A and B are shown apart, each in its own frame.
Chain A
Amino acid sequence: MDLVAIIGLNVLSGIASLVLISLGLAIIFGMMRIINLAHGEFLMLGAYATVVSTNLGVNVWIAMLVVSPIFVGLVGLLIERTLIRFLYGRLVDTMLATWGLSLFIVGLITTIFGNTIKGVPTPLGGFQVGAYRSDLYTLVLAFVALALLVAVVVVMRFTRFGLIARATMQNPNMASALGVNPTRIYMLTFGIGAAVTGLAGGLLAPVSGVSPTMGSAFIAKAFITVVGGGASILAGTASAAMLFGFINQLGSYFTTPVFGEVILLVAATVLIRILPEGITGRFFKGSL
């Protein structure tokens, strides 16, 4: 029974980290159709923002939940203005441009901070489940992931900005004819996507080694989740994260971490073969 609880916690943490690392990508890729290959580097920037501000004496929670998203959100706005806005509608070009961007960011951060591993200690402590121990931070990750999902629903469904954003993504010309400025909406959406990614990076800083190349460990999983999820950013990301997080963590537990990764990739391949449009191409169709 304790074991079931502890495995359940692992699965929860797997799902939560997948939701966190892929939600920003879902907003940028799912809504705006921009393949952002610098997504992993946005995560890394968020993690560095947390590490640097914590070392400067900022409270670790403020660093993770406030500094990181604001910093990466601003970086996102800057990048949208200087690079992305010239490439809307050109899928392959955005890929190349953001790939170059990712190399540039890795190089820049290496130059500034060197390639040693940084990090902040995990806040909170552990707790006992029968004969086992787990850490409280897992529950924080799960809570923030859930809160983010709820926030996306609220913003998209119940605010004026959400309505305009959805309209603009669906038909920018029509929205423009109705007096909306699509350029501004694109800019803000990209910034929000970047900020969510920055938040994820900040939250992952205490549980992983922070180095300039850490993004590459996350980017494949983020893309798998978003593509597996399909067109709906929210239902898609949530359902794909649940499915893949469950498979990956149970696979790792019952076999080895190597097979855990393999099983995840095989499951993703099979899923895309059966549901080429992703999970939300068949189920929850048309949901947010």
Chain B
Amino acid sequence: MNWTRRRVLTSTAAATGGLILSPAVLRYTALGAENPILVGSLHDQSGPLGTSGQPMVLSVQLAVEELNAAGGLLGRPLKIVSYDPQSNIQLYTQYAQQLALKDKVAVVHGGITSASREAIRPIFDRFKVLYFYNTLYEGGVCDRNEFCLGTTPAQTVQKLVPDAMSKSGKKAYIIAADYNYGQITAKWMTKYCQDNGGTVLSTEFFPLDVTNFGPTISKIQQAKPDLILSALVGGNHTAFYRQWTAAGMKSQIPIASTTFGLVNEPSTLDAKESEGIMGAYGFFEELTTPASKAYVDKMHEKYGKDIPYISELACATYEGVHIWAEAVKKAGSIDRMKMIEALETGISFAGPSGQVTIDKPTHHAVRSAYLAVVKDKKWSVTGSYPDQKPLDTAAVCDLVKNPTDNQQYVIKI
């Protein structure tokens, strides 16, 4: 810190003024803090993605409250600057610029869909603001300024596909949403299916506004697969699970999905429509480890029982804020490069999902993955895989060798 003459004068003046003027300011200066450290939060709290975003914002709040209760960071309190982009990409870019230029935050935790991430990532690169993306996604982003805390296909799909195949059979039929998440995830499903000696009979993509799955259900019956792999997304695609059950196919061919549950399907669908569907994520609200229970209880205690389902998105966000705080402690500064270097030392945090460690070459997280199956409208966890590496991204991205690399790689199959 440079103690210029002006600075000394202003802080002395402020301190004197504070002493005279108000007990609140007195307390503030007594903490020894000049300004709080600003933490940016950019998550949808309204619109179609609102139910996913709300618990993420609450997780940022919970983590920041915990850090403040422990005395803040570097002797300064933390303060959240939160915006709601309303599931609108244009608002994402506007608020990202505001966070970077006007609010001058130390870090931004934000973005839910891959589209929103790709919209704001260049902005934070350009204005040199450290960026955390805490969502499960299709993998492959290679950017030294960004840290991805969510699971990627190598951590979840790789476990889910062989597990589901061992329970049903080797012939799979893939149905997926028709945008980059679905397209790329379908490729990973194909790869892991083939790696385990299975075959993919057909892959079909659905625009997000398709509600009638009749022709597809007939085609699936004609192909006679042993297993359905689903990466369907959103409200309209929920219709598939209804129509599948109504046609009486539910009991005949099992379904494994990488997306089922992201808009809380287990509780909104009827029990007979969701029973037995298999899924894999980095976190489930139903986990029973002491750390996961403590986190879920704290969320419910502070923000009420009625908050939306606490999925991997919320948990990874909570862990993201804590890992960032560990880095600030280690770096002893909020300078962006010093924090990146601290994060690259393989920093880790024991979170609700287990041990989470930053992988230096990819800036992704080494973390636990869990398999679960829907039972009576809730997830029942059937398997846990600690310390899973983001191997998909590691195959294409090495930020140690190419620190200036800045793109999203897509797998070729």
**Which of the 9-residue segments B95-103, B152-160, B216-224, B372-380 touches chain A?**
B216-224
CB < 8 Å neighbour of B245 from A3, A122, A210, A211? A122
Number of A-B contacts defined by CB within 8 Å: 140
Asked if A17 CB lies within 8 Å of chain B CBs, one says: yes
Chain B residue nearest to A260 in the complex (CB): B215
A10 touches B209 (CB 8 A): no
Shortest C-beta distance, B220 to chain A (Å), equals 10
Asked if A81 CB lies within 8 Å of chain B CBs, one says: no
Q: Mark B198-232, 1 if CB is under 8 A from A, else 0.
A: 00000011110111101111110110000000000
Asked if A53 CB lies within 8 Å of chain B CBs, one says: no
Q: Mark B24-57, 1 if CB is under 8 A from A, else 0.
A: 0000000000000000000000111011000000
Asked if A276 CB lies within 8 Å of chain B CBs, one says: no
Asked if B238 CB lies within 8 Å of chain A CBs, one says: yes
Chain B residue nearest to A138 in the complex (CB): B214
Asked if B268 CB lies within 8 Å of chain A CBs, one says: yes
From known contacts A125-B246, A126-B246, A137-B246, infer whether A115 and B209 are also in contact, taking CB-CB under 8 Å.
Answer: no
**Which of the 9-residue segments A83-91, A158-166, A250-258 touches chain B?**
A250-258
Asked if A217 CB lies within 8 Å of chain B CBs, one says: yes
CB < 8 Å neighbour of B205 from A7, A131, A257? A257
Neighbouring A residues of B51 by C-beta, 8 Å:
114-116
Shortest C-beta distance, A144 to chain B (Å), equals 16
CB < 8 Å neighbour of B243 from A118, A122, A252? A122
Neighbouring A residues of B263 by C-beta, 8 Å:
116-117
B247 touches A134 (CB 8 A): yes
Q: Mark B238-281, 1 if CB is under 8 A from A, else 0.
A: 11001101111100100000000001110011101100000000
Neighbouring A residues of B75 by C-beta, 8 Å:
none
Asked if A80 CB lies within 8 Å of chain B CBs, one says: no
A209 touches B272 (CB 8 A): no
Q: Mark A224-261, 1 if CB is under 8 A from B, else 0.
A: 00000000000000000000000001001100111011
Neighbouring B residues of A136 by C-beta, 8 Å:
246
B interface, size bucket: 35 or more
B235 touches A211 (CB 8 A): yes
Shortest C-beta distance, B362 to chain A (Å), equals 33
Chain A residue nearest to B222 in the complex (CB): A3
B214 touches A208 (CB 8 A): no
Neighbouring A residues of B210 by C-beta, 8 Å:
217, 257, 261
Neighbouring B residues of A216 by C-beta, 8 Å:
209
A253 touches B242 (CB 8 A): no
Neighbouring B residues of A127 by C-beta, 8 Å:
248
Q: Which of A131, A138, A209 has the most chain B CB within a 10 Å cutoff? A: A209
Complex Cα–Cα for A258 and B265 (A): 24
Asked if A46 CB lies within 8 Å of chain B CBs, one says: no
Asked if A76 CB lies within 8 Å of chain B CBs, one says: no
From known contacts A10-B214, A13-B212, A209-B235, infer whether A115 and B204 are also in contact, taking CB-CB under 8 Å.
Answer: no
Chain A residue nearest to B245 in the complex (CB): A122
Asked if A173 CB lies within 8 Å of chain B CBs, one says: no
A258 touches B178 (CB 8 A): yes
A121 touches B218 (CB 8 A): no
Chain A residue nearest to B252 in the complex (CB): A133
Neighbouring A residues of B207 by C-beta, 8 Å:
257-258, 261
Chain B residue nearest to A217 in the complex (CB): B209
9 A–B contact pairs at CB < 8 A?
A122-B243, A122-B245, A126-B248, A134-B247, A208-B211, A209-B235, A214-B236, A257-B210, A257-B215
Binding site for B on A (CB under 8 A): 3, 6-7, 9-10, 13-14, 17, 110, 114-122, 124-127, 131-138, 204, 206-211, 213-214, 216-218, 249, 252-253, 256-258, 260-261
Given A126-B249, A258-B207, 19 additional A-B pairs, CB 8 A: A17-B212, A116-B263, A117-B263, A124-B246, A127-B248, A133-B249, A133-B252, A134-B247, A206-B242, A209-B211, A211-B48, A211-B235, A214-B211, A216-B209, A252-B216, A256-B205, A257-B216, A258-B205, A260-B215
